[in-house]
Amino acid sequence: MTEIRVFLRRTCYTPDDDLAFIGVPPVDTSALPRHARVSVSVAFPWDMDRARSLAAAWASLYRDVQVGGPGTLCPADEFVPGRFLRHGITISSRGCSRACPWCFHHKTDGNTREIPITQGRILEDANLLLCSERHVRSVIAMLSEQDSPEVGALDTRVVEPWHIEALHAAGVRRIRFAADYPGSHIHLRRVVPMVADFPGDREVFVLAGYHDRSERGLAEVMERIHLVEDLGFSPICLLYQGLHFHKYGPVWADLQEKYRPVEVPEKCHGCRGCLMGERLVAANGAALET
């Protein structure tokens, strides 16, 4: 069955094939397939109303219209490259066996579950390192065949020297960790000797605005960012978003703007509120929504 995928906004991770659409159906419907299933992909919980409106608009053309994606908080199936994330991005596991209260991965997908490995140069697993060693090694072997591979946040509590050595040998050019809560730099400190010879970028996501949005909370985040810098990593500030969109004041927005990735991802439109997993909020910075 032909599948039309509908997205609420275009981001650097949105597929761009002929069956991927942004928003309502085009005025000229002549190029649309006669029969198709329509899948509206919603990345953020706070976008559900908009997703339902879009589904209604597409339902005027097609009978089978469904809303899915991380924003629905429903568990995900196996990963199909290019379906809801553009080709080049891949996911080899779902869920996370940790239960960090600010995170949705374990709430929607439960404990860490390995899924079949598919090709992609950017790995966006929630927590790869909770997978079996065999799986992790297979993923790294897949990455070694890619051009300039990258991996998302590696759990500093379980990362071991062989992980970093294998990623280095695989030609990974960027690794990321996280310092999501006060005191998390202690785990990051353990990683410092492991990455001493890693030649690529070393970035650390710093979650802000979850624990405390007062001035004291802001000071704590600033301190955490500086600790991350002192340890030799580049911090990327992530402003927390929960079930409902929170509009941060200028001081917090400036913080996110100041500590954004050095390199904006390929095809990034800088959409405000972009979230392919909450990690990408920072990657898309504070530019305009398209």
The residues that touch ligand SF4, with contacts defined as CB under 6 A, are 96, 98-100, 103, 105-106, 126-127, 155, 180
Asked whether 210 and 189 are in contact (CB, 8 A), the reply is no
122 vs 126, beta carbon nearer ligand SF4: 126
Handedness of CA 127, 132, 137, 142 (dihedral sign): negative
Region of 88 please: left (phi>0), alpha (psi -120 to 50) or beta: left
* CA–CA distance, 202 with 191 (Å, rounded to integer): 11
Asked whether 84 and 5 are in contact (CB, 8 A), the reply is yes
* CA–CA distance, 273 with 268 (Å, rounded to integer): 13
Q: Which two tokens stand for residue 16?
A: 């761009």
Rounded to whole angstroms, the maximal C-alpha distance in the chain is: 59
20 vs 126, beta carbon nearer ligand SF4: 126
57 vs 100, beta carbon nearer ligand SF4: 100
Q: Which two tokens stand for residue 78?
A: 């196996």
- The CA radius of gyration of the chain, in Å to the nearest whole number, is 19
Q: Which two tokens stand for residue 278?
A: 């909450």
What is the closest distance, in whole angstroms, from the C-beta atom of residue 25 to ligand SF4 in the complex? 35
What is the closest distance, in whole angstroms, from the C-beta atom of residue 269 to ligand SF4 in the complex? 25
What is the closest distance, in whole angstroms, from the C-beta atom of residue 208 to ligand SF4 in the complex? 14
Could you identify the residue written with the tokens 């810098």? 229
Closest of 269, 272, 237, 268 to residue 255, by C-alpha: 237
What is the closest distance, in whole angstroms, from the C-beta atom of residue 94 to ligand SF4 in the complex? 11
What is the closest distance, in whole angstroms, from the C-beta atom of residue 267 to ligand SF4 in the complex? 25
Question: DSSP alpha helices (H): ranges in 84-214?
Answer: 105-109, 133-143, 161-169, 185-191
65 vs 89, beta carbon nearer ligand SF4: 89
21 vs 44, beta carbon nearer ligand SF4: 44
Length of the chain: 290
105 vs 202, beta carbon nearer ligand SF4: 105
52 vs 189, beta carbon nearer ligand SF4: 189
What is the closest distance, in whole angstroms, from the C-beta atom of residue 19 to ligand SF4 in the complex? 30
What is the closest distance, in whole angstroms, from the C-beta atom of residue 177 to ligand SF4 in the complex? 10
